[in-house]
Structure 1
Amino acid sequence: MEADARYVAFTSLDEAQFEGERVSYESSIALEKALSPDVLLAYEMNDEPLAPEHGFPLRVIVPGYIGARSVKWLREIMLQEHPSTNPYQARDYKLFPPEITAKTVDWSRGKTIEDLTLNAAITTPQEGETVAAGPTRIQGYAITGEGAPVERVELSVDGAKTWTTATIVERADPHAWCFWEVTVALSPGDCQMIVRAWDASRQTQPEDMRPLWNFKGYMNNAWHRVKIHVS
């Protein structure tokens, strides 16, 4: 290993058009992260060869980071001094302040997105669904990145006046989705369900998405809201 190597770049067999040029997908992570024991090169899943949609014949798995860093269909792995200059790293998956637009953006000044933010979502019932009044089971998932693990999930059905703590029913790994459920009594009428997660360091999600807004639409982890009708 070269002494000046600071990053590991993963190049995919996948190619796409980027501003009129055909380029391979590529992403890089810091060497320190790549050497952590939870970062894997995977060729099987559940004792079976990877399916094509999961990255056959080989992919990298970078737990706690956004999916764009877990490159599929690996062709090449390179050690280098600097982050990848591939357009999918240098011109994509970057955060900018709310006032920056697609017309005013300076890509060199964006913050490269790596680890995930604390987030939770409702999966059942779904937006616009009609459910019967009475005890109703609400389900969803929560996830976090490099920080502290998810500690609890709360649901509100009265506009955030009160919150009910959900039960975490499955947690396979600190970086994996943890699935939760809670049963609440619903009265007839329109209802907006709201979910938020807390991690072990007592951090929670922001209520409002407006301070998080960016023209690329990335990393919105504000409270998830789902409107349903109760009959």
Structure 2
Amino acid sequence: MWGKRDDMLVHERDPFNAEPPRAALAGRRTTPPDTFYSRNHGPVPDLDPAAWRLTVDGLVEHPLDLSPADLRERFDEHEVAATLQCAGNRRAGLAEVRAIPGEDPWGPGATSTARWTGVRLADVLAAAGLRPEAAHIEFAAPDVSRLAVPPQPYGGSITVDKALRPEVLLAWAMDGRPLPRVHGAPLRAVVPGWIGARSVKWLTRISARAEPSDNYFQATAYRVLPPDADPAQAGPDDGIPLGPIVVNCDILRPDDGARVPSGPTEVTGYALAGGDRTVARVDVSADGGRSWTQAALDDGDSPWTWRHWRTTLDLPAGEAEIIARAWDSAGAVQPESPVHLWNPKGYANTSWARIRLTCT
């Protein structure tokens, strides 16, 4: 479905929401389009590139109406390697603490990396003449979601400070090929370091505003509610809005529940830090955190991509639990337990990664 590999873990077919098995991400600095996770809130729109236009309006001096040719001819092309991560990544771990009704049980595969090609959002906003009172940049798309009541098209916003950063793109290609339809063709936003929900697909409008977007997916959804809150009763501005992601990691190989020979066992995974922070260290333990082994980290392809890590542990015969935790460049570390992170929407599970093995 949608050109994805046969072993994708499909959480929903309409809207299409799927992630790869964890082992499919192991050892890959970038994620092939057939493996890249897919998060959608409504039916995937079918836009005619020949008729598609991008409107830039709001608090700007010179509103723009741009065709695909306009974007390519008027603005310099740039490429950014960036990892996107769903705010619900690793939700399954929170659901083990307490049920999260109505939300997909994402594992660690709602995280993927590509090289994105397009133009800088900052260049487009400069051409439009961004006014000083603009503090937020809103993205609008045509995919209508029934998660909002009444149903409404998807949208969201980012701060002007982030929008003007050189890494934020309006992208038409991933890994040197045109965007697949399911990943936002003909144009999508790519906002490195922020939750994937802000990298809005199928862009049709960009608006400069004094306040954040009032779209349901900015004002009401993608907010961390208190544990005792009822999501069905949550209104605009309740909870903590999600933007920059928090340091996170997971184990990709061996798979959770695998049987492996006892003795030296290679353990690999990914780590990702959001905002302007980078991954500084990953620790791995096979004795419940009493002792830790520091994993070797690859360099990553840019400040905005995950870093893959690996280490070798000497595992005795029997049952084993492997845990991993990441530290970022500000000294922040993942918390130990998902119990302390549980929230009614199941966002931002950044607790220690855990897998259980049988060693023979």
TM-score, reference length from structure 1:
0.94
Alignment-derived partner of residue 139 in structure 2: 10
Q: Secondary structure at the match of 1:43?
A: strand
The C-alpha deviation readout for 1:43-90, integer Å capped at 9, x for no partner, is 112222111122111011101100000001111111112111111111
CA shift, 1:151, in A, is 0.9
Output the CA distance in 2 between the equivalents of 1:30 and 1:19.
Answer: 23
- Find the partner of 1:68 among 191, 197, 200: 197
Gaps of 5+ in 2: 1-59, 61-130
CA shift, 1:142, in A, is 0.2
Output the CA distance in 2 between the equivalents of 1:105 and 1:45.
Answer: 36
Q: Secondary structure at the match of 1:98?
A: coil
- Counting only pairs closer than 5 Å after superposition, residues 7-46 of structure 1 correspond to structure 2 as 7-46=136-175
Output the CA distance in 2 between the equivalents of 1:6 and 1:221.
Answer: 29
Q: Is the 8 A contact 1:9 1:77 kept in 2?
A: yes
Superposition CA RMSD, Å = 1.6
- Aligned partner letter, 1:55: G
Q: Is the 8 A contact 2:148 2:216 kept in 1?
A: no
Output the CA distance in 1 between the equivalents of 2:313 and 2:204.
Answer: 50
The 3 A distance-change label for structure 1 pair 79 and 179 is: same
Q: Do residues 142 (structure 1) and 271 (structure 2) align?
A: yes
- As a proportion of its length, which structure holds more strand? 1
Pairs aligned (count)? 231
Moved more, 126-135 or 61-70: 126-135
Gaps of 5+ in 1: none
Q: Do residues 85 (structure 1) and 221 (structure 2) align?
A: no
- Aligned partner letter, 1:34: A
Output the CA distance in 1 between the equivalents of 2:234 and 2:149.
Answer: 20
Output the CA distance in 2 between the equivalents of 1:98 and 1:107.
Answer: 17
- Counting only pairs closer than 5 Å after superposition, residues 93-172 of structure 1 correspond to structure 2 as 93-102=222-231, 105-172=234-301
Q: Is the 8 A contact 1:98 1:211 kept in 2?
A: no
- Find the partner of 2:330 among 188, 191, 201: 201
Moved more, 181-190 or 45-54: 45-54
- Find the partner of 1:184 among 313, 323, 338: 313
Alignment-derived partner of residue 186 in structure 2: 57
- Aligned partner letter, 1:7: H
Output the CA distance in 1 between the equivalents of 2:211 and 2:224.
Answer: 19
CA shift, 1:20, in A, is 4.9
Output the CA distance in 1 between the equivalents of 2:283 and 2:323.
Answer: 8
Output the CA distance in 1 between the equivalents of 2:278 and 2:261.
Answer: 34
Output the CA distance in 2 between the equivalents of 1:170 and 1:200.
Answer: 14
Q: Secondary structure at the match of 1:89?
A: helix
Q: Is the 8 A contact 2:220 2:234 kept in 1?
A: no
The C-alpha deviation readout for 1:168-206, integer Å capped at 9, x for no partner, is 124112221111111111111010000001122222111
Alignment-derived partner of residue 22 in structure 2: none
- Aligned partner letter, 1:72: K
Output the CA distance in 1 between the equivalents of 2:137 and 2:234.
Answer: 27
CA shift, 1:219, in A, is 0.8
Q: Secondary structure at the match of 2:231?
A: coil
Output the CA distance in 2 between the equivalents of 1:101 and 1:23.
Answer: 21
What is the percentage of aligned positions where both structures have the same residue? 38
CA shift, 1:7, in A, is 1.0
Q: Is the 8 A contact 2:140 2:204 kept in 1?
A: yes
Q: Is the 8 A contact 1:186 1:230 kept in 2?
A: yes
Output the CA distance in 2 between the equivalents of 1:141 and 1:115.
Answer: 18
Q: Is the 8 A contact 1:170 1:180 kept in 2?
A: no
CA shift, 1:103, in A, is 5.8
